[in-house]
Amino acid sequence: MEDYPEELRTPPVSLVCLTGCPELHHPISAFLHSEQPPINTLALPDFSKASVLARKKNRDPLSQPTPAPPSGILKRDWLLKHRTRVPAVVAALFRADQISGDPAQWLQACTDLENLKSLIHGRSTRLVVVLVQTQAAEELSEDVMAALRKRAEIDSKHLVEFVQNDASDLRQSLNKLASLFAELCLTYYKEEGRRIRSIIEKKSSPFPELNIRYCFKIAIYAEFRRDWSEALKFYEEAYRVLREMANTSTRLPPIQRLVEIKTIAEQIHFKISTLLLHGGKIMEAVARFLKHIKTYKRLVGLPEVDFLHWEWFSRQFLVFAELLETTAASAPSSQSPQFGTSESPFSEWEFQPAYYYQLAANYLREKRCCLEQSSVSKTDLPTKITEAPDSVMPSTHIGQSARLVEEGDIVTVLPLSDAEYVAYALAEAERFQDCYEIIALYKRAQESFSSHGSQRMACLCTLGMAREYYASDDFTNSKQLFDTVAAMYRREGWAPLLWEVLGYLRDCAKRLGLTNEYTAYSLEMAALPVFSTGFEETIDFGPAGPATLSRREEIQREALNFAVETDGDPEPVGLDVDPVSPLRSVLLVAVAFHEQSVKPDSVASLTVSLLSHLPLLFKVDLLEVEFNQPACNFSMSIPLEVSPNKWLRLTHEVKSGQSGKLECLTVKAKINNNLIICCRAESPALMEDLTSWKYENQRETYPTLDPALSLSGQKSIQVDEPNPLVDLTLNSIGPALVGEVFQIPVLVVSTGHVIHGGELKINLVDARGGGMLMSPRETDESDAHHVELLSISGLPEEKEDDLNTDLSEETKSDNIRKIQYSFGVVSVPVLKEGESWCCNLEIRWHRPKLVMVYVSLGYNPGDVDQRVNVHRSLQIEGKVPFFTNHRFMMPFRREPLLISNIRSLISPLEEKKVSLALKENNIVIVSAKNCTDVPLNLVSMKIVPEGGTNSNEKLFLVQEISGISNKCTRFVPGEEFRGVFSITPLVAKSSLSLGVVCVEWTRDSKNQDQPETVTTKHSLPQVCVEEPPLVAAIECPPFAIVGDPFSLYIKVKNNTNLLQEIKYSLGDSQNFVFCGAHVHTASILPGKELVLSYKFVPFSAGVQQLPRITITSVRYSAQLTPSIAAGTIFVYPAEPKFSLEKNGSELVV
């Protein structure tokens, strides 16, 4: 497309000529150019330059009445002329002062106008006079204007005033000018078009050339006007007439005639395609193009210049592809949902530029092919030889060539004969290297196809490129490209296509001197599944030769004897075959051990199976089998015959003294002393099918005699460890308790082996799975480990300095000792037969958890460098020793009014916090229940405030009321112990931490001298301390006697600074009579205490409920009701007799 002249590639733009006032040309040109649609300007600085507008002497043949046969269809410069030299409008610019001032200047202006008029005479070019005023005040008189108009013979509207005194005026004037120009241009091109159209309509010209020319011109004029549909119509017409003319015209010699017609057809078709594509009609454009191709494909012309046809043909595809690419935005996917059906006869690729690039490349190859033939035939026929003339140049008509002849100073242009033209065209064509052009086209197609995901089509384009490189002897590039193509065909198993590509590759490798690759490609070819079916004999597979069995055999013989021929190089060719190599079909090695595991030093048998798809039998002179344990390697030097498509099975025995994995790595086959194939051994169980042979309809064969082994056989075997002769014992004394250091004794006794380099590994694993012994969130803190391996005690070196374990660890670096939270390693000293060694694992549980303890001992028995491992495991559960609980209470018959309790009654959804009364004795009862299976000794129980007891500010006082009486309280499983504490808060606080209850205990074991004391903590909740506004207390004797009156006082203390009003009431009771107010109200002064006094007489004995006492605070609308226990009293039937000796003090009431 770039070869086309610019005026053809871009839509035409109207042309306006400016003359006079050169200083204004630039702003006017710039403005017109930026208009939509733009207008080009031809700026002539002064009137003397206007002669460029003059017409040539020879008249346009259109207007000549006597038709002379035209010498060509389209003139080469016609389009350019109309775009750059023939304006639609000529604008003469005069300054206002030139007109109105000096008469001499007026005369000059008149002369200039006359000149202009004469220049454009005979054309329909419009004349516009522009009067340039620098100031709006410079108004010209009416009669001067009229005189000027008359001189110029123009309408009044074609005389324009151009005011430029300020920006807005200038803009306005420019706009006015532009719209006038646009209008006049439209009229001009319309008239020109109409004029030519009338010629066509008037008489059908005897010369189709003229018809084509006229149609072309009308279309161009329509394009000037941006009337695309008319342009399209006349281009189509021109194209039609041209096609008809192809068979009838006799004006030029036949070869040149066809060249001219095709050139014109190409240009017209280019215009049509451009118009269609820019109009978004991509389907029509494609259909139009296909028709174009179909029409001209058979118009090859004479055989000696058929290369010209194919070159032209290829160019059609290239140009169309480029056009499609530039208008790629309008992809047709939305237009037709499904291609390839009767509704949409196109397929996807016809809308892709890549498709056309590829075809362009194909036809360029065709051209080169024809060119080569033409060149040959030219040299064959020396009689007809015509020297190519030196000075051939394009003639004045498009698509024609002419010869320049210089005779002295006179230069004449002569037409060419066909023979001369052919010679010239041949000489021109031979100058170009087509192969690079072809490669570039294929490359563009390939890139475009792969970006669309069409891998196979891209592959075909790559193949085209590779063939071109091959043809131009660039074997390096060629081989690289062929390799990528071969990979594709190998993957999908297209053997015939692969055969062709491998043929090229083999030849490339041969020419590049790559011995290994040559052999590899040859062997792969020989092992390809291609069979003679009759046709293959005659297909041209390139250097590969026919894809027949005999050819395969021939290639195999060549490859196997290749190194012998190049005798100077004695080194054999080495080929590596891995599980993805295409050479697996040449030699496939499967190795299967018959067992899965074997004892050390006993015999393991294995089968080595070889399979080859080479067409001929070959002999393996030496077979070397290599293992990961080099001691097991073996080789077979008896010649082995490998038959085509048949497993050769060899059974061998190996013996390994080393435990672990014994794996067969490679099998090397030496063939003919010049080829070594090194195959990676494959397990029959995991062996993949050969990509090229797996679709062949062949009998299924197995690499081993036993088909079961073929399905399960492995190329590796496990060599077991020798049996350990060591006892490893783990003991434990029942469940572990959370908090204590729990000891697990480990005993190692040698029962036959001498233990060298023994190493004991300890691992703690969560028995319920998960493996993690720490909470996932806080892995960093040591406290977060639920179970922790603390240390290993009882080691000989530790006994000496038990306190400084860290130091011993550092100094004795040869003694491995590492302990982490769940993992530990400790070394075991050398133990002779019968000796024993023991240690204790110390483990602490932070949370109750079930844990598996794994202990494994690894050692070397004797001198052999082989480790033996013994494993033991033990499941231990860590349990909580105590179930601890607590309860808050108030002192008996004392009720403080706590506001937060009232609030929580109103809104029970709020978080409930225990409230304690300020400066009152609040009782806490802590109970601890032994929930283990063993008896425990309780040492102490105390409440420790948070931050320790010696805190600066005492927030509350703690007093132990009852607790552990003697030093150690033994309590059996299930027994509960209670401690009673009194807490007196000193500060009112909404959130007060009461600290933790520490319970110190030991295991109750008799055999240990000094059992370790363990502290279990139970944290008390946060409480709210507040000052009760009212405190009610009931004072009452501890018991009563029937009929004996007693006093009951209700004391209500007002702790506030306000006057408190209370209501109080006492219910009735059958068992008592009392004196005092049933219901009453009272007021209590700030800080004072109200004492209500009642006298009761009980009627009946036993536990009796006092009348219900209710005290209501009016201010807080709160009731203080003593609990049922507080309202209960025991009534004796008569005065009791207590033993005075025992509890004399209790009698005093």
Partner 1 sequence: MIVCVAVVGHQNNPLYLQSFTGSDDALKLHHIVHCSLDVIDERVNNPKRSASTLNETFLGLLYPTENYKVYGYLTNTKVKFIMVTTDLDVKDADVRSFFRKFHAAYVDAVCNPFHVPGKKITSNSFSERVGTIVRSFGPSMTL
Q: Which of 11, 61, 496, 735 binds partner 1 (CB under 8 A)?
A: 496
| Residue 970 φ then ψ, to 5° | -90, 130
Compute CA 537 distance to the chain's CA centroid, rounded to the nearest angstrom: 50
Enter the DSSP assignment of 52: G
Q: Are 774 and 834 in contact (CB under 8 A)?
A: no
Query: How far apart are the C-alpha atoms of 493 and 691, rounded to whole Å?
Result: 6
Strand partners, 836: 749
Q: Which is nearer to partner 1, 463 or 1014 (by Cβ)?
A: 463
When asked if residue 314 is in the footprint of partner 1 (CB under 8 A), the reply is no
70 preceded by cis ω (within 30°)?
no
Q: Of the listed pieces 56-64, 393-401, 693-701, 1038-1046, which binds partner 1 according to CB under 8 A?
A: 693-701
- Residues in 431-450 at the binding interface with partner 1, rule: CB under 8 A: 449
Q: Which is nearer to partner 1, 452 or 756 (by Cβ)?
A: 452
| Residue 143 φ then ψ, to 5° | -70, -30
Q: Which is nearer to partner 1, 504 or 1094 (by Cβ)?
A: 504
Amino acid at 28: I
When asked if residue 707 is in the footprint of partner 1 (CB under 8 A), the reply is no
Instruction: Please list, in sequence order, all residues whose beta carbon lies within 8 angstroms of the beta carbon of residue 1006, skipping any fewer than 6 positions away.
Output: none
Report, in Å, the least distance between residue 344 CB and partner 1: 9
When asked if residue 702 is in the footprint of partner 1 (CB under 8 A), the reply is no
Q: Which is nearer to partner 1, 27 or 340 (by Cβ)?
A: 340
- Residues in 673-692 at the binding interface with partner 1, rule: CB under 8 A: none
546 preceded by cis ω (within 30°)?
no
Query: How far apart are the C-alpha atoms of 453 and 349, rounded to whole Å?
Result: 12
Query: How far apart are the C-alpha atoms of 261 and 903, rounded to whole Å?
Result: 107
Q: Which is nearer to partner 1, 359 or 364 (by Cβ)?
A: 359
Report, in Å, the least distance between residue 259 CB and partner 1: 23
**Secondary structure (DSSP) of 123-142:** S--EEEEEEEESSTT-PPPH
Query: How far apart are the C-alpha atoms of 632 and 657, rounded to whole Å?
Result: 9
Q: Which of 229, 341, 383, 965 binds partner 1 (CB under 8 A)?
A: 341
Pairing status of strand 618-627 against strand 634-636: antiparallel
Q: Which of 228, 339, 888, 1132 binds partner 1 (CB under 8 A)?
A: 339
End-to-end CA distance of the chain: 126
Q: Of the listed pieces 260-268, 335-343, 561-569, 869-877, which binds partner 1 according to CB under 8 A?
A: 335-343
Which residue, chain included where needed, has tokens 């084509």? 212
Q: Which is nearer to partner 1, 349 or 854 (by Cβ)?
A: 349
Report, in Å, the least distance between residue 473 CB and partner 1: 23
Query: How far apart are the C-alpha atoms of 258 and 264, rounded to whole Å?
Result: 10
Report, in Å, the least distance between residue 589 CB and partner 1: 24
Report, in Å, the least distance between residue 688 CB and partner 1: 13
Q: Which of 260, 306, 350, 1026 binds partner 1 (CB under 8 A)?
A: 350
When asked if residue 538 is in the footprint of partner 1 (CB under 8 A), the reply is yes
Q: Which of 228, 349, 702, 821 binds partner 1 (CB under 8 A)?
A: 349
Query: How far apart are the C-alpha atoms of 674 and 563, rounded to whole Å?
Result: 6
Q: Of the listed pieces 85-93, 131-139, 694-702, 756-764, which binds partner 1 according to CB under 8 A?
A: 694-702
| Residue 37 φ then ψ, to 5° | -70, 155
Which residue, chain included where needed, has tokens 């109105």? 100
Report, in Å, the least distance between residue 449 CB and partner 1: 8
Q: Mark 1042-1053 as b/e (b = at least 16 C-beta within 10 Å).
A: beeebebebebb
Report, in Å, the least distance between residue 343 CB and partner 1: 10
Q: Which is nearer to partner 1, 364 or 826 (by Cβ)?
A: 364
Helix (H, G, I), strand (E, B) or coil at 375: helix
- Locate 583 and state its tokens: 């050479």
Q: Of the listed pieces 18-26, 346-354, 408-416, 890-898, which binds partner 1 according to CB under 8 A?
A: 346-354
Report, in Å, the least distance between residue 247 CB and partner 1: 23
Report, in Å, the least distance between residue 453 CB and partner 1: 7
Q: Which is nearer to partner 1, 494 or 821 (by Cβ)?
A: 494
Enter the DSSP assignment of 225: T
Query: How far apart are the C-alpha atoms of 923 and 984, rounded to whole Å?
Result: 9
Query: How far apart are the C-alpha atoms of 352 and 507, rounded to whole Å?
Result: 35
Report, in Å, the least distance between residue 355 CB and partner 1: 8
When asked if residue 530 is in the footprint of partner 1 (CB under 8 A), the reply is no
Report, in Å, the least distance between residue 341 CB and partner 1: 5
Q: Of the listed pieces 10-18, 393-401, 531-539, 659-667, which binds partner 1 according to CB under 8 A?
A: 531-539
Report, in Å, the least distance between residue 229 CB and partner 1: 29
Other CB atoms within 10 A of residue 595 CB = 11
Residue (of 849, 846, 858, 899) closest to 877 by Cα position: 849
Report, in Å, the least distance between residue 352 CB and partner 1: 10
When asked if residue 493 is in the footprint of partner 1 (CB under 8 A), the reply is yes
Residue 462-491 contact track with partner 1, rule CB under 8 A, x = bound: -x----------------------------
When asked if residue 539 is in the footprint of partner 1 (CB under 8 A), the reply is yes
When asked if residue 697 is in the footprint of partner 1 (CB under 8 A), the reply is yes
Query: Strands (DSSP E) along 45-143, which ranges?
Result: 89-95, 126-133
When asked if residue 293 is in the footprint of partner 1 (CB under 8 A), the reply is yes
Q: Which of 338, 965, 966, 1007 binds partner 1 (CB under 8 A)?
A: 338
Enter the DSSP assignment of 543: G
Q: Of the listed pieces 333-341, 622-630, 666-674, 847-855, which binds partner 1 according to CB under 8 A?
A: 333-341
Q: Which is nearer to partner 1, 445 or 1048 (by Cβ)?
A: 445
Q: Which of 6, 139, 696, 877 binds partner 1 (CB under 8 A)?
A: 696
Report, in Å, the least distance between residue 290 CB and partner 1: 9
Query: How far apart are the C-alpha atoms of 1129 and 92, rounded to whole Å?
Result: 133
Query: Strands (DSSP E) along 616-674, which ranges?
Result: 618-627, 634-636, 640-642, 648-655, 660-671
Q: Which is nearer to partner 1, 355 or 742 (by Cβ)?
A: 355
Enter the DSSP assignment of 204: -
When asked if residue 65 is in the footprint of partner 1 (CB under 8 A), the reply is no
Residue (of 273, 271, 364, 358) closest to 312 by Cα position: 364
Which residue, chain included where needed, has tokens 């069409």? 454
Report, in Å, the least distance between residue 587 CB and partner 1: 23
Q: Which is nearer to partner 1, 571 or 700 (by Cβ)?
A: 700
Q: Which is nearer to partner 1, 456 or 1080 (by Cβ)?
A: 456
Other CB atoms within 10 A of residue 1133 CB = 12
| Residue 1111 φ then ψ, to 5° | -120, 130
Q: Which of 42, 354, 359, 1109 binds partner 1 (CB under 8 A)?
A: 359
Q: Which of 58, 248, 250, 342 binds partner 1 (CB under 8 A)?
A: 342
Query: How far apart are the C-alpha atoms of 332 and 542, rounded to whole Å?
Result: 39
Q: Which of 492, 601, 641, 1035 binds partner 1 (CB under 8 A)?
A: 492
When asked if residue 297 is in the footprint of partner 1 (CB under 8 A), the reply is yes
Question: Binding residues for partner 1, how many (CB under 8 A)?
Answer: 41
| Burial of residue 147, with CB atoms counted within 10 A of its CB: 0-12 exposed, 13-18 middle, 19 or more buried | middle
| Residue 996 φ then ψ, to 5° | -125, 155
- Locate 269 and state its tokens: 């078709």
Chain residues that interact with partner 1, rule: CB under 8 A: 293, 297, 333, 337-342, 345, 347-350, 355, 359, 449, 453-457, 460, 463, 492-494, 496-497, 500, 535, 537-541, 695-698, 700
